[in-house]
A = this chain, B = another copy of it.
Amino acid sequence: MHFAFSDEQLALRDAVRDLLAKECPPTAVRAAWTSGTGRCPAAWNALTEMGVLGVLAPEAIGGLALDDVDLVLALEETGRVALPEPIVETAAVAVPLLATLDDERAADLVAGSSAALVHALAPHAVWADTAAVIVVLGEAHGSAEAPADVELAPAESVDGARRLFTVGIGSVPGSPAALTAHEAALAFDRAALGTAAQLVGLADRMITMTVEYASERKQFGVPIGSFQAVKHHLADARLALEFARPLVYRAAWTVAERDPERSLAVSLAKASASDAASLAARVALQCHGAIGYTTEYDLHLFMKRSWALSATWGDPAWHRARIGRGIL
State the main secondary structure of chain A at its contact with B: helix
Say whether A243 faces chain B, with CB atoms less than 8 Å apart. no
Say whether A228 faces chain B, with CB atoms less than 8 Å apart. yes
Say whether A158 faces chain B, with CB atoms less than 8 Å apart. no
Bound Cα distance from A284 to B227, whole angstroms: 22
Query: Restricting to A234-269, which residues have a CB under 8 Å from any CB of B?
Result: none
Say whether A229 faces chain B, with CB atoms less than 8 Å apart. yes
Say whether A232 faces chain B, with CB atoms less than 8 Å apart. yes
- Residues of chain B lying within 8 A (CB to CB) of residue A232: 229
- Residues of chain B lying within 8 A (CB to CB) of residue A229: 228-229, 232
Please give me the residue from chain B that is nearest to A227 by CB atom.
Answer: B228
Chain A 218-236 near chain B by CB (<8 Å), digits 1 or 0:
0000000001110010000
CB distance from A223 to the nearest CB of B (A): 14
Bound Cα distance from A232 to B228, whole angstroms: 10
Please give me the residue from chain B that is nearest to A232 by CB atom.
Answer: B229
Bound Cα distance from A32 to B283, whole angstroms: 47
Bound Cα distance from A232 to B230, whole angstroms: 12
- Residues of chain B lying within 8 A (CB to CB) of residue A227: 228
Bound Cα distance from A232 to B232, whole angstroms: 11
- Residues of chain B lying within 8 A (CB to CB) of residue A228: 227-229
Bound Cα distance from A232 to B227, whole angstroms: 12
CB distance from A282 to the nearest CB of B (A): 16
Bound Cα distance from A227 to B232, whole angstroms: 12
Bound Cα distance from A229 to B227, whole angstroms: 9
Chain A 188-229 near chain B by CB (<8 Å), digits 1 or 0:
000000000000000000000000000000000000000111
Bound Cα distance from A232 to B229, whole angstroms: 8
Bound Cα distance from A199 to B229, whole angstroms: 29
CB distance from A13 to the nearest CB of B (A): 36
CB distance from A304 to the nearest CB of B (A): 28
Please give me the residue from chain B that is nearest to A229 by CB atom.
Answer: B228
CB distance from A154 to the nearest CB of B (A): 34
CB distance from A57 to the nearest CB of B (A): 50
CB distance from A41 to the nearest CB of B (A): 47
Bound Cα distance from A215 to B15, whole angstroms: 54
Please give me the residue from chain B that is nearest to A230 by CB atom.
Answer: B228
CB distance from A232 to the nearest CB of B (A): 6
Bound Cα distance from A203 to B49, whole angstroms: 64
CB distance from A66 to the nearest CB of B (A): 46
CB-defined A-B contacts under 8 Å, sample of 5: A227-B228, A228-B228, A228-B229, A229-B229, A229-B232
